Amino acid sequence: MVERNSGFANLAQGYLFPEVAKRRREYQAKHPDAKIISLGVGNTTEPLTPHIAGAMASYAKALGTAKGYSGYGDEQGMTELREKIASVVYPKMVSADEVFISDGAKCDIARIQTLFGSKVKIAVQDPAYPVYVDGSVIVGAAGASSKSGHRGVTYLPCTAENNFFPDLTKIKPNSLIYFCSPNNPTGATSTRAELKKLVDFARKNGCIIIFDSAYYSFIRNKNLPRTIYEIPGARKCAIEINSFSKLAGFTGVRLGWSVVPSDLKFADGSSVKQDWNRVMTTLFNGASNIAQAGGLAALDKEGQKETKALVDFYLENAKIMQKTLTGKNFANAGVKVYYTGDSPYLWVKFPGWKSWDIFDKILDECRVVTTPGSGFGPSGESYLRFSSFGHRKDVEEACRRLSKLVL
């Protein structure tokens, strides 16, 4: 018989978001008339904007004509879109041939894990998006789970005490460093000085940074970097992963990109970009042409205006939630709300509570779904992540319910 991939046996029990969904279903089954509002999983809720939706609709309609039909494209993505991303998102920082179009950031992270294989050392922020660790475990780059995490993974606690920026000296030389800013789940956005420390450390210690910038469009503070390539030296030590999911509401459309600079090398001097190109052309057949048409529209003048308004809508939701979660009943219970205004997520600490226990209490008493912080790593215990992705009327109703919570 074929042996099972031992990586699956080494995974911690259950992936976070399916477990959240399972508990919601169970509660709904017991209370079929309850209107449950989700402030949990980071799925966008608002319609695609008119200019962007129109561009995709026009492209799709043209596929029904001989002149407008398109089949397979380049696996790396449409040249026009690669050029647009380079010029709009990374002006004078990267070239179009260093941009690779994909079906989303999560999928790119999985392919990154294939690129580097099972022998690479891993370091992750703690808490962190679960796929960094779980994907590494599946490919064999991390061992079995324990109470403190997975063996073979260096966890970098990001807490209020260190302003959510880790102690880099814990990282082993020649490691992959998964780093997300604005961070999911904490919402913390690293400063230019902090990212310079990260880049300098990586270069000195032979590390490669996998920089997840999927929430860059939420940064409103002009003093904060929106890409790792704003930092000198980053082209020699960093891959950036990005997405249209939160920028343009493409969570269901599926479109993202990676940047792999020509300057980035393996220990033997060979090109990381060359191997990444092989991964993309071998294991991927290219993003949807319709989705790429939408991506082009999102980055033109009208599209940028629309996406800014869309992101501003979610940021306003976050402010409404922040006002509620800093109210008297929460403050009197010692609840701490961490929110900078540059992220869709509020990171909220409930002293004395286990994450899943306060999750269940809020679901039971307020009929509001959140995300337990412990699901993002050991340092997330006693926290909940509140997501601003929601219809305004639902966010306002959830806040009314939360304001009556007795802690």
pLDDT tens digits, 328-366: 999 999 999 999 999 999 999 999 999 999 999 999 999
Give the list of residues 6+ apart from residue 206 with CB closer than 8 angstroms, or none: 173, 174, 267
DSSP secondary structure of 106-162: HHHHHHHHHHH-SSSEEEEEES--THHHHHHHHTTSS--EETTEETTEEEEE--GGG
CB atoms within 10 A of CB 232: 10
pLDDT of residue 349: 98
Query: Is the Cβ–Cβ distance between 347 and 160 less than 8 Å?
Result: no
- Going by C-alpha positions, the residue among 195, 257, 207, 206 that lies closest to residue 232 is 195
Whether residue 344 contacts residue 318, with contact meaning beta carbons closer than 8 Å, is answered with: yes
DSSP, res 338: E
Q: What is the pLDDT of residues 121-174, one digit of tens each?
A: 999 999 999 999 999 999 999 876 766 677 789 999 999 999 999 999 999 999
Q: Which region holds residue 142: left if phi is over 0, alpha if psi is between -120 and 50, else beta?
A: beta
Dihedral sign, CA of 222, 227, 229, 234? positive
AA letter at 171: I
Low-confidence stretches of the chain (pLDDT < 50) are: none
pTM: 0.96
The β-bridge partners of 157 are: 126
| Tally of CB atoms within 10 A around 351 | 10
What was the pLDDT predicted at 346? 98
> What pLDDT sits at residue 269?
98
- Predicted confidence at residue 148, as pLDDT, reads 65
Q: What is the tens place of the pLDDT at every residue in 12-33?
A: 766 788 899 999 999 999 999 9
Lookup: tokens for 259: 């940047």
In DSSP terms, 243 is beta-bridged to 256
DSSP 47: P
